[in-house]
Structure 1
């Protein structure tokens, strides 16, 4: 199947999922839309997030995608059920894969979750974790400063360390926490900074690897894998600043061939009807 996999995110964070998809599924073409002009989604209402998400989805549906990956935790929390209900193609989010990975790695059943205000407010991760393993101790905290910092290209250094320390100080008092879910796809870009703050005894969980693995499984089960020997040219779209998007893309894909990627400005048509 030469049709592409569509990937959406509120900004650049979903590129961490794309990087893992490229690694695990090198023959699959990816079309990515990052809504950087309206990022972050975390402080927005559920209705706004749903509207913006559907606008990105409609943009991708015009390109005849064969599968949709919602590489944004806030959008996953607020729109995944609706997307699955209304779309005829497979749809996966990043919350369930992240929850499964955390449960696999925790040794003492004490798991922390950091995410945007919307993701934490939705309790989507807590519900996903508890549905799998009810006896977990869970600590959840919103970190609203992280996404804007990443979108500005600040991922390490004194300022990043200060912001992360101030945000995570309450969680660091939970000495028994041995696993921390990075409940936003922007957060893996701060992974080294976060790890330095929480210490090496805490395992950081990014849903990127698990999401890519689940994508591969679904494509295989539904006979949608691309078996061609020709490696694809991926298409990346941003609704915001093209130069900043390209700079951050280069940092994420520093070990990959950027000639395999075209980056363009996306113009999203406002949704006319409520899904």
Structure 2
């Protein structure tokens, strides 16, 4: 079997279950054969380490780490893995796939060289903190025939799959409006570090509540299609010591006529994430 290719259930049953990944997408569940691949993980904060644990759980053993050693977590979990501190040296190991989980503003510094090297890419959301160089990444990916997956994992949430099923089946009629609300208290996210040092709190690293809690903006597009118009108010409104927005109120109108709003904040205790559709 060829790594990365999609196979039928019967084809996969003829092979070991060791390296199968079960993926759910709108209306379909499928298995993708990973096979023996070399993985490079760039960025070993809490999310990068979660990706590492998932690869190990899937039976993957050929894993390389690219690190700058600027993280705030202990290194015990990472001992024993080959590590490079230079990206060119890391890519010289010829990884098949690169997982990019470093701070948002640094994503493309890894993604573009990885794409040039012909690697498949799992890129944490958002793709970047600005639109600069996105056309460059797209052109390279198209030329090298690589695959890029952005980590909007809420598209695999069983509850949201049920919402999509209800909407597409018109079980509640034609949707008219929505209200998405997501509030969290930023200092509670990483108890082991000063929240002011986290990428979510720093403009230079691509932080801010709109980029960090962008999942509703993605799944609303999944449900309702393209956005026709929007308005937004956002700012640093709380007493948290940040140089990014901690509160945002965003209004959206979709091409199909659905209207609604998204509220995002770093200030709410206890946290709450909910969606209402009328």
TM-score in terms of structure 1 length = 0.37
Asked which structure has the greater RCO (Cα within 8 Å, sep 6+), the reply is 1
TM-score in terms of structure 2 length = 0.37
Which protein shows a greater Rg?
Answer: 2
